[in-house]
Amino acid sequence: MTKIKALALFSGGLDSILACKLMEQQGIEVEALHFVSSFFGRGKDRDLYPEEAWRHYGIRLSVIDVGESFIEVLRNPPHGYGRYFNPCVDCKILLLTRARRELASRGASFLVSGEVLGQRPMSQRRDTLRIVERDASVTGLLLRPLSALKLLPTRAEEEGVVDRTRLLGISGRGRKEQMALARDLGIHYYPAPAGGCVLTDPALSRRIKNLFVAIPVITENACLLMQVGRHFLLPGKSWLVVGRNEAENEEIKGLFQPGDLLMNITGGAGPTGLARGAAPFSDGSLAAGIVAGYSRLKGEPEVQVSIRGDGCETIRAVPAPSDTLRLYRLP
Ligand code: SF4
């Protein structure tokens, strides 16, 4: 007999693991969908994740990149932002809509998520869950096994595909019931709750919000750059990023793209800077001075800075004093 199949939205947190396992206990075949963007999900090691999910939890998983669509949501979320620059309601609508569109091609008949009623202040209230279902067109199609007994039955329950009496009625922010269930199911390895989305980090979120206002063209590359190093908005409308350590310098170099200027102190005695924006580049010497201001040579009257763009040149820059650094730096 062909098994009934469900697609599960899989963040990688304990709740999503448990949701998959509760379905499997009822003989449902589950395929987990792990959505990634520049701001959430296992971006850097995404290729390893399916193998890891299988090894740790016996869960078959596919990774889906929604980066471009998420930028649009983040720029203008119809349901607004959460506490920080996190558009959680519209993010969930985006992911569920995408998951719904995957149903037919993956041979699945309903959706599953590990959401718990009342666990998050904005996006997991009862009224918000309904709004998300309505706007993603998944009403009756999305089963939340951890909180199902506190919610209306879904189509899968009504049709007897899933036995509602074997689902749970967890609600609220506590984790005890989930941890007990994990023990019962023999799940000992799982990431800590929360985390995973940089938009819930107060400092990073504030910076990203400021950059979304200041930068005219937001790409996935720009979103990654926003998360590295120190950031400056210069008077000629350029954006400068300066690494804080070797790893960040390497990351910044990796995000260089045509039109950017990459700055290094000659001889390597300082950070890497990447300037992007206004052309012709009116902020060049100020940017080089800021990069020099973070170098080991900041006490010198002048420092040689090599600049790589279309070509390569070396200029003499006066290291910017600390009040100039403060003036242009984004918090
Ligand atoms: S925390 Fe981030 S990934 Fe999670 S729903 Fe909100 S915006 Fe989306």
Every domain of the chain and the residues it spans:
5-197, 228-328
The best mutation among 33, 37, 76, 88 to test binding of ligand 1, ranked by most ligand atoms within 8 Å of the C-beta, falls on 88
Place of tokens 């990654």: 224
Protein fold of 5-197:
Rossmann fold (3.40.50)
Distance 86 CA to ligand 1 centre (A): 6
The protein residue whose alpha carbon is closest to atom 6 in ligand 1 is 88
Q: Which atom of ligand 1 is nearest to the CA of 95?
A: 8
Picking from 159, 92, 102, 170, the residue whose alpha carbon sits closest to that of residue 128 is: 92
Report the distance separating Cα 193 and Cα 15, nearest Å.
9
Model confidence over 268-317: pLDDT tens digits? 789 999 999 866 567 889 999 999 999 999 999 999 999 999 889 999 99
- Write the pLDDT tens digit of every residue in 34-86: 999 999 997 768 889 999 999 999 999 999 999 999 999 999 999 999 999 99
Mean pLDDT calculated for residue range 221-228: 97
C-alpha–C-alpha distance, residues 308 and 31, integer Å: 46
User: At 35, is the secondary structure helix, strand, or coil?
Assistant: strand
- Give me ligand 1 centre to Cα 198, in Å: 9
pLDDT band at 99 (very low <50, low <70, confident <90, very high): very high
Residue 194 has pLDDT above 60, yes or no: no
Rounded Cα distance between 43 and 20, Å, is 22
- The confidence score (pLDDT) of residue 279 equals 61
- pLDDT exceeding 90 applies to what percent of the chain? 87
- pTM as predicted: 0.92
Q: What type of residue is 144? A: R
Nearest CA to ligand 1 atom 7: 88
According to the model, what pLDDT value does residue 2 have? 77
Token pair for 132 = 């998300």
**Residue 196, SS3 per DSSP:** coil
CA of 54 to the centre of ligand 1 (A): 24
Section 227-240 average pLDDT: 95
- Which of 94, 98, 200 for mutating ligand 1's site (highest number of atoms within 8 Å of CB)? 200
Q: What is the mean pLDDT of residues 145-167?
A: 98
Residue nearest to atom 5 of ligand 1 (CA): 88
For the CA of 41, the closest atom of ligand 1 is 3
Portion of the chain with pLDDT greater than 70, in percent: 96
